[in-house]
Structure 1
Amino acid sequence: MGNRTEFWTSLTPNDPREAPAEAARLEAEGWDGALMVDSQCMFPEVWAYLTLAAQGTSRIKLATGVTNPITRHPSVTAAAAASLQVVSDGRAVLGIGRGDSALAYVGASPMAIGAFEHYLEVLQTYLRGEEVDLADAGAMVVNAKVGFDNLAIGSGPKGSSLKWLKDYGMPKVPIESYATGPKAIASSARVAETVILGLAAEINRVAWGVEIARTAAAGVGQDVGVGCAVVVMPHEDVRLARDLARPTVASMARFSAMNNKVIGPATPAQAETLLKLAEVYDMNRHGATAVQTEVLPDEFVDQFGIVGSVDTCVDRIREFVDLGLQRMTFWTPYVKTPDLAHSYDLLVNEVLPKVRAG
């Protein structure tokens, strides 16, 4: 299987005051990392939340899952991530994507791929403690008048950098970019340390994305880690497992047809479902049981999620591990019910130990 695959999960409490205890519990359960959503209209401020989580833990890695390039200037995002790196003693990871719910809830759409790649390059420059061209940095400030021509100052900064960063001697914060389409995967692989594939748990599609990422990284002479984000829902009753997984499967699968066109390999049946999902998706019920869950056939849920018995889930996860993935992130639903709690217990106490033993 090569290098050990890391297994991450998501932080779920909305109340940031619960973050230290929640992160400590995940750490005690053996997770390698935990991430928190950055969607300001749906959840509390992500960097405050992760800072509190860092103060309650000592080992687990902590990441945004994910931030976006539009609601924050790259210097602001870099400073926040670097601050978390200091507070956590080197456990911060900067997860970023082109934008989804954080933008949808303020009436905006994801950033264009070319602009996103440049944003990643500027972000990396800040995180390395290097200087960004001042005109470039100024051009990325929304609605700002660039330059100092009308200000009463004798001289201004020649470049833009995190001047305070060198005082701490911390390792650089790694960037992981979440991507779905081939252009986004390739551009991310050229700049970020890790690409997290937003292709759900359809193994053929994930294998396709892995190949794109590795080829693009090799083209610029660098290695890239590749991971994927999936939902895993073990349960003795496969029908119940499917129903528990459906809302998250819908949210994940939607990325593959956001522009009313199916991205990546898909069977005719899969393509039909993806297009129907894109047509009916209700962002007001993002991640919840709604009209989008009603259009997902059982077969689709089985393919785009990891559901069923403990052994079924173990076998499915091992297929992804065998692709040489650096990481798998298992999204945990935000709603807590006895059935979901039982499924989570099976995941932590039976599925993951068996996968790791194998």
Structure 2
Amino acid sequence: ASATERVHLGPTVTNPLTRHPAVAASGIASINRLSGGRAYFGIGSGDSAILNLGLRPAKLADLHEYMQAMRTLLAGESVDYKGRSIHVKWSNNQIPLVMSAEGPRTLAMAGGIADAVIVHSGLTKDVLADTIARIREGERAAGRPEGSAKVWAFAKCNISDNHDDAIDEIKMALAASGHHAFRHTLEGKNVPEELQEAVRVLQGEYVTSQHEQLGETRNKALSDELGLTDFLAERFAVAGTPDECLAKVRDIRDAGVDNLLILAISSQTDDLIRRFGEQVIARI
């Protein structure tokens, strides 16, 4: 916060189960003050952070209640939460609330309450069109103007001069995306029928204690063993040669996405980020 001037700062994402809203509001308000107003607050139902504690992801009703509590707390007002009155009275920040969403119901809810939606449902044109439509449905249902919830696409990223090398290094991250996005149900999630059984097996075989770890992990092997690598890479990644990454980012932009978040998966993260900036973003 103190060492930068333009970058926006925030969690992508925390969850309602391990962070009490008063603690979360106080923390992000502090970052917002230190950064001169550059903070945002990202939240989702919970993934490895809660699965490794033996917990289940938050229910939509609990996530909705948490979002409402955060907005009220950040405005410096008291709110009743879980039967108790709580407050962070020194805060008067209108910090953007950003919600991660994949499924149809979650996307619609996010459209009705969030300032931006981190979409991890996929990056292909048809999936993005369906995803954005569900966000807009949520906006309309909540009486919000279209475009109230900005769309932030989330991509697993890697760049190499060789396409196969770029994909090979991030197979464990592709498995993580498939495990997260397709949990609970496949209904309304645009998974080809011939791959649905493999996706279901992934849910049971994924090792949460190795979540997105680089190297020859069990999760990396799963992607190939189940025949899902090509599908998951096309669906969730901006990865390949610089020209391939550039074409994918242009497609994402043209689909109506407002912002792109990349998770740099590489043993050489600094080099990846530099190459992405110089060889992809600079050419958009």
Matched, 1:239 2:164: yes
From the superposition, tell whether residues 89 and 215 of structure 1 become closer, same or farther in structure 2 (CA, over 3 Å): same
Write the mapping of 1:1-358 to structure 2, written as runs, cut at 5 A: 54-132=1-79, 136-137=80-81, 139=83, 159-166=85-92, 171-222=93-144, 223-259=148-184, 261=186, 264-288=189-213, 289-296=216-223, 297=227, 298-304=229-235, 305-333=237-265, 336-337=267-268, 343-355=272-284
- Secondary structure of the residue aligned to 2:13 is coil
Deviation per CA, 1:210-238, whole angstroms, max 9, x where unpaired?
Answer: 11011111222222111111112222211
Alpha-carbon distance between aligned partners in 2 of 1:261 and 1:73, rounded to the nearest angstrom: 31
Q: Contact (CA 8 Å) 1:262, 1:274: kept in 2 or not?
A: no
Give unmatched runs, 5+ long, in structure 2.
Answer: none
Q: Name which of structure 1's ranges 255-264 and 286-295 shifts more when overlaid on structure 2.
A: 255-264
What value does the CA root-mean-square deviation take over the aligned residues?
2.0
- Distance apart, 1:274 and its partner CA: 2.1
- Distance apart, 1:344 and its partner CA: 4.0
Q: Name which of structure 1's ranges 85-94 and 299-308 shifts more when overlaid on structure 2.
A: 299-308
- Secondary structure of the residue aligned to 1:163 is coil
- Distance apart, 1:200 and its partner CA: 3.8
Alpha-carbon distance between aligned partners in 2 of 1:239 and 1:218, rounded to the nearest angstrom: 43
Deviation per CA, 1:78-104, whole angstroms, max 9, x where unpaired?
Answer: 111111111111010000011112212
Alpha-carbon distance between aligned partners in 1 of 2:233 and 2:8, rounded to the nearest angstrom: 30
Deviating above 6 A after TM superposition, structure 1's stretches of 4 or more consecutive aligned residues are none
Alpha-carbon distance between aligned partners in 1 of 2:135 and 2:25, rounded to the nearest angstrom: 24
Deviation per CA, 1:289-330, whole angstroms, max 9, x where unpaired?
Answer: 422322324422441222222211111111110122121101
- Distance apart, 1:130 and its partner CA: 2.4
Query: Computing the radius of gyration over CA atoms, which structure comes out larger, 1 or 2?
Result: 1
- Secondary structure of the residue aligned to 1:106 is coil
Alpha-carbon distance between aligned partners in 1 of 2:12 and 2:94, rounded to the nearest angstrom: 18
From the superposition, tell whether residues 115 and 301 of structure 1 become closer, same or farther in structure 2 (CA, over 3 Å): closer
Alpha-carbon distance between aligned partners in 1 of 2:151 and 2:167, rounded to the nearest angstrom: 27
Alpha-carbon distance between aligned partners in 2 of 1:346 and 1:138, rounded to the nearest angstrom: 47
- Supply the AA of the counterpart residue of 2:68: E
- Distance apart, 1:282 and its partner CA: 0.6
- Secondary structure of the residue aligned to 2:81 is helix
Q: Contact (CA 8 Å) 1:99, 1:111: kept in 2 or not?
A: yes
Q: Contact (CA 8 Å) 1:273, 1:295: kept in 2 or not?
A: no
Q: Contact (CA 8 Å) 2:16, 2:62: kept in 1 or not?
A: no
Give unmatched runs, 5+ long, in structure 1.
Answer: 1-53, 140-145, 147-158
Alpha-carbon distance between aligned partners in 2 of 1:269 and 1:321, rounded to the nearest angstrom: 29
TM-score (norm 2): 0.89
TM-score (norm 1): 0.71
The number of residues matched between the two structures is: 274
From the superposition, tell whether residues 164 and 343 of structure 1 become closer, same or farther in structure 2 (CA, over 3 Å): closer
Q: Contact (CA 8 Å) 2:78, 2:86: kept in 1 or not?
A: yes
- Secondary structure of the residue aligned to 1:331 is strand
Alpha-carbon distance between aligned partners in 1 of 2:272 and 2:169, rounded to the nearest angstrom: 9
- Secondary structure of the residue aligned to 2:191 is coil
- Supply the AA of the counterpart residue of 2:183: M
Alpha-carbon distance between aligned partners in 2 of 1:81 and 1:178, rounded to the nearest angstrom: 17
Q: Contact (CA 8 Å) 2:124, 2:252: kept in 1 or not?
A: no
